[in-house]
Amino acid sequence: MKTKTGKTLIPRLHFPEFQNKGEWEVKRIGEFLTKYKARVKDSINNQNVEVVSVGELGLRKRNEVYSKILSVNIENNLLFPYGSICFGLGSKKMALAVNKFENSKYCVSPAYNIYKIDTNRLNIIFYDYLINYYKNLFDDAFLVVSSRQGKKIDFNRFFEQPILIPSLPEQQKIASCLSSLDEVIAGERQRLELLKAHKKGLLQNLFPQEGETLPKLRFPEFQDTGEWVEKRVGEIGNVIASGDLDIETFSSIRTEKYKYPVYSNSISNEGLYGFSSTFKFKRNSMTVTARGTIGVAFERKSDFTGIGRLIVVTDLKDVCLTFLKENWNHQAKINFENGGIPQLTAIKAKLVTLLFPKSIEEQQKIASCLSSLDNVIQAQQQKIEWLEQHKKGLLQGLFPNVNDGDNG
């Protein structure tokens, strides 16, 4: 199989034992699939099955309550056994999920179509990676418009779609390689969740519980320094609602002229919106999201501009910035009146009360402890991102590139 440019579609990377095996074979998807018609009531003899949904993220378990509701009427759902592929629509695009979990049986809505995979010629794990890697080819090409039901899948066209596959042993080798990497990524994600849980537990012990004025854990040098004291945020700094951005001073790209970060009312990428040639607020301030996702605090260690109903707490008095941010995120409670769109105003933010140790040294000690843990968490997140990029590059090397044919 060749591209429009005439280049042979073979992968850039081969395992040594398959180096001279030539091109991958061109096959129709339909050659490997047989429609599965059995209903749950005809197939499992009252065995337990789990109810799942199929979306852009693949196979997902329903939440427990919904599962129980569906299981009452389980005979109306289709069995989705190991070695099958499930087709449905997710977010108006084709959803493809392969059940690659041995000894697992699921049922799905009869709105889905289930097909058995010929496992004598096609490795299940390999097919799952293959189908998801080339998913962009399937999103729109096989959907047709139905006047009553919206989009639906044209299976006749889909089954004629050519795919490239190597020999079964090479499929198994590729599947084993990618599965091993996914296991590593899953393990690193689990470690990340454990670190986050550890920080959550640390926060609960380093800060007083609700209704108390002393934390459960205290550094030895501060054991006899007394109870924490309550202060309003308006007492420890100036609380300001950021205004609109002067468009003449704005750029989406950081340059020599536009060098001050602009933060918006968002928590994605800490709300970085662009850069400005001037700044409104000084470094060592705290910003708090004020609309949408409300009440998430960030520390700002450089001069900046804030827009979009962002609350800024600046000119701090005898307060450690990192401690204030952690304190706010852990303890702040915001009351909203009924009616209208909830939003945090500067007036409300000023009235928020938090507990503080009497000495700034204790605040700094707590902040240093939490910052060290944050650095470990950030390093773990970066490690996962690197592994994901490594996997992406590996997929690009192990599978032929059907878009431009630059494979060798």
The pLDDT value recorded for residue 217 is 93
Query: Which CATH superfamily includes the segment(s) 229-356?
Result: DNA methylase specificity domains (3.90.220.20)
Q: What is the rounded radius of gyration, in angstroms, for the C-alpha atoms of the chain?
A: 28
Give backbone dihedrals phi and psi of 27, rounded to 5 degrees, phi first. Answer: -130, 155
Q: How do residues 226-262 score in pLDDT, each as one tens digit?
A: 999 999 999 999 999 988 777 888 898 999 999 999 9
Q: Are 158 and 113 contacting, i.e. CB atoms less than 8 angstroms apart?
A: no
- Distance (Å, whole) CA 24 – CA 42: 39
**pLDDT reading at 1 higher than 50:** no
Select from 44, 32, 119, 45 the least CA-distant residue to 79: 44
The pLDDT value recorded for residue 2 is 41
Question: Regarding predicted confidence, which is higher, 256 or 76?
Answer: 256
The pLDDT value recorded for residue 72 is 62
- Distance (Å, whole) CA 108 – CA 300: 48
Lowest mean pLDDT among 134-138, 156-160, 356-360: 134-138
Question: Which residues does residue 113 pair with via DSSP β-bridges, in sequence order?
Answer: 87
Q: How do residues 97-132 score in pLDDT, each as one tens digit?
A: 888 887 777 888 777 888 999 999 999 999 989 888
**pLDDT reading at 47 higher than 80:** no
Residue ranges, CATH 1.10.287.1120, the chain? 169-225+360-408
The residue written with tokens 């507990």 in the block is: 355
387, HSE (Cβ side, Cα atoms, 13 Å): 18
Pull the structure tokens for residue 305.
């501009």
The pLDDT value recorded for residue 240 is 92
The residue written with tokens 């992968």 in the block is: 11
Q: Is 25 helix (H, G, I), strand (E, B) or coil?
A: strand
What's the CATH fold of domain 169-225+360-408?
Helix Hairpins (1.10.287)
- Distance (Å, whole) CA 144 – CA 126: 28
Residues 78, 155, 71: CA angle, nearest 5 degrees: 15
Architecture of domain 25-165: Alpha-Beta Complex (3.90)
Q: How do residues 147-177 score in pLDDT, each as one tens digit?
A: 466 667 778 888 888 888 999 999 999 999 9
The pLDDT value recorded for residue 407 is 40
Does the global pTM surpass 0.75? Answer: yes
Pull the structure tokens for residue 213.
């004025």
Q: Are 321 and 366 contacting, i.e. CB atoms less than 8 angstroms apart?
A: no
Residue ranges, CATH 3.90.220.20, the chain? 25-165, 229-356
The pLDDT of 356-365, averaged and rounded, is 95
- Listed in sequence order, the residues at least 6 apart from 332 whose beta carbon sits closer than 8 Å to its beta carbon are 295, 297, 352, 354
The pLDDT of 376-381, averaged and rounded, is 96
Q: Is 369 helix (H, G, I), strand (E, B) or coil?
A: helix
Q: In angstroms, what CA-CA distances link 325 with 58, 193, 312, 355?
A: 37, 21, 12, 12
Pull the structure tokens for residue 62.
């329903």
